[in-house]
Amino acid sequence: MTQGKLSLANKSADGSSGEATAAAPAPPSYEEAIAGGSSPCYSDAEMLTEYNWDDTNIRRIFIRKVYAILMIQLFVTFAIVALFTFCEPVRLYIQANPGWYWASYAVFFVTYLTISCCSAPRRVFPWNLILLAIFTLSLSYMTGMLSSFYNTKSVAMCLGITALVCLAVTIFSFQTKVDVTSCHGVLFVFSMVLFISGLVLAFVIPFNYVPWLDGVYAALGAILFTMFLAFDTQLLMGNKRYAMSPEEYVFATLNIYLDIIYIFSFFLQIFGTKRD
């Protein structure tokens, strides 16, 4: 091997080979290799993809931020529901003043449209968190007033069922290889079915034509928003066909929170017992 290197050097020095042989560049050091970025990248030539440790870290921070905000939202909602359900003076007051419900519904609708349709407010701190806090309080009031018309035991039971269902769906979404994000067409069709059923229900229920139709509608709604919860959770993970940008942590939190509230509302409609 040494003799080969010497003969190659002699040929390059005296020009007898007729063309110059370029010396192979020395491999860069570790410090030189990472000088251009904050962390090393690893490329897979066969898959034509590039994996960056920064992407994984950003995604993990994004998920932790979303679930931290979500836990605060759920705690506030649980506290308001408990207050409206267990405290009789508060329950009687909100039931006697339905105007507060419609006012909270208007606030909920405006803040939801603002966060969903306007990218600037939901990305600018602290306005995004302020809007999300107003949205949470308005929806919590609506949920608490809805719960005040049901028996305390049935509300507690529906809270437990919702918690178990959401936990199971979250674990399934994180562990399964099934790509729920690619099934958005199915969710759209299911949503249209639920929307048309709701319109029919609005005309049928007041006349008591089909007494059991209310329960069927609630069951379909619970199934649909359970599927939406799996869909939004996998969008949050970012390892499926579709992913959500880490800048949209407020929008991601809003979607998952709204799914959970709707699941609880439909379960309350199915299993809840009205107060006498």
pLDDT in tens, 124-177: 788 888 889 999 999 999 998 888 888 888 888 888 899 999 899 888 888 877
Cα–Cα dist 274/155, whole Å: 10
Centroid of chain to Cα 194:
21
In a domain, 30, yes or no: no
Is 19 within the bounds of a domain?
no
| pLDDT of 236 strictly over 70 | yes
pLDDT attached to residue 134: 92
Q: Please give the structure tokens belonging to residue 30.
A: 């570790």
The answer, yes or no, to whether residue 257 has pLDDT greater than 70, is yes
Residue 2 confidence (pLDDT): 46
Q: What are the pLDDT digits (tens) for 111-127?
A: 988 888 877 777 878 88
pLDDT at res. 120: 77
Q: Considering just the CA atoms, what is the radius of gyration of the chain in Å?
A: 29
DSSP state of 180: G
Q: Give the pLDDT band of residue 240 (cuts 50, 70, 90).
A: low
Structural domain contains residue 154: yes
- Kindly state whether residue 228 falls inside one of the protein's structural domains: yes
Q: Is residue 181 part of a domain?
A: yes
CA 232 from centre of chain? 4
Name the nearest CA neighbour of 229 among 178, 173, 161, 148: 173
| CA 70/CA 107 separation, integer angstroms | 20
| Residue-level pLDDT at 139 | 92
pLDDT score of 209: 62
- Domain that includes residue 192, residue range: 56-271
Q: Is the entire prediction scored with pTM above 0.85?
A: no
Domain count, the chain: 1
pLDDT tens, position by position, 42-76: 333 333 333 344 467 777 888 888 889 999 999 99
Read off the DSSP letter of residue 35.
T
Percent of the chain residues topping a pLDDT of 90: 14
pLDDT at 261: 93
Q: Is residue 11 part of a domain?
A: no
Residue 120 lies in a domain: yes
**Residue 51 included in any domain:** no
- Local confidence band at 274 (pLDDT 50, 70, 90 cut-offs): confident
